[in-house]
């Protein structure tokens, strides 16, 4: 009986097998495997076997890729520069081409003197011998008083003795010819803005290369010295 009691006491005092086990046995291998996969896919985003961020897959929007954003932003700036370059180039070409000038009657009245408006926009005529450029022969270019479009070179001006500035030809494409309603004369206007210049006459016997006389109101012109 004493022996049995001693044996029982020894067994009670003996540490449990649970506490003798190695701590590593308490950790399941499954969480370790998932943790390893999780970490490996964070550092290797190109792998497709497992992704902890399925809600942000390639088909989802918006994307939060810094490198992609920088690339797209750089492309946007590049396109903007090309666009601005194209627009600025287009504006330069249009300016060189001298496109049509269209204004309302009120706008013309605001920028022209009463006499200029009467002649340029209402097809009036200045009194003969009174024009500023009737007897003027400086070297340069005559432009439209309404829109500043070049119309005549000074080398084409001659003295007709008629009381108005006379030119034997205009710059290419600058002058538009329109027959008057009665068919007796041909009106000449600025092609760009339609401003009335005067009339053109042919076959008057002037010793000019074209045998034409552009009879122009001085008020319709502005002179710019130089070639």
Are residues 198 and 188 in contact, defined by beta-carbon separation less than 8 angstroms?
yes
Are residues 158 and 207 in contact, defined by beta-carbon separation less than 8 angstroms?
no
What is the arrangement of strands in the sheet containing 196-202, beginning at the earlier edge strand?
A: 157-158, 166-167, 212-216, 196-202, 186-190, 175-179
- Among all chains, which residue has been given the structure tokens 């495997």? 33
**How many Å apart are CA 137 and CA 222, to the nearest integer?**
13
Give the H/E segment covering residue 109: helix 105-111
215 catalytic residue (yes or no): yes
The total of other beta-carbon atoms located within 10 Å of residue 61's CB is 6
**How many Å apart are CA 18 and CA 11, to the nearest integer?**
14
- Which of 144, 190, 193, 215 is the catalytic position? 215
Q: Catalytic site residues?
A: 215
């Amino acid at each position: 009986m004493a022996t049995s009691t001693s044996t029982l006491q020894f067994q009670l005092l003996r540490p449990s097998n649970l506490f003798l086990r190695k701590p590593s046995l308490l950790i399941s291998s499954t969480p370790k495997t998932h943790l390893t996969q999780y970490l490996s896919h964070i550092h290797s985003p190109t792998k497709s076997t497992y992704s902890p961020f399925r809600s942000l897959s390639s088909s989802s929007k918006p994307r939060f890729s810094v490198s992609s954003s920088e690339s797209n932003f750089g492309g946007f700036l590049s396109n903007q520069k090309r666009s601005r370059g194209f627009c600025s180039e287009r504006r330069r070409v249009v300016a060189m081409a001298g496109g049509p000038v269209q204004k309302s009657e009120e706008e013309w009245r605001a920028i022209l003197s009463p006499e200029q408006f009467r002649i340029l926009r209402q097809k009036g005529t200045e009194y003969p011998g009174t024009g500023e450029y009737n007897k003027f022969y400086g070297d340069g270019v005559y432009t439209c008083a309404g829109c500043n479009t070049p119309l005549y070179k000074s080398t084409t001006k001659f003295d007709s003795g008629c009381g108005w500035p006379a030119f034997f030809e205009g710059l290419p494409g600058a002058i538009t010819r329109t027959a008057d309603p009665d068919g007796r004369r041909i009106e000449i206007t600025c092609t760009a803005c339609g401003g009335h210049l005067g009339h053109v006459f042919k076959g008057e016997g002037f010793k000019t290369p074209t045998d034409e006389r552009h009879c122009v109101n001085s008020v319709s012109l502005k002179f710019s010295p130089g070639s």
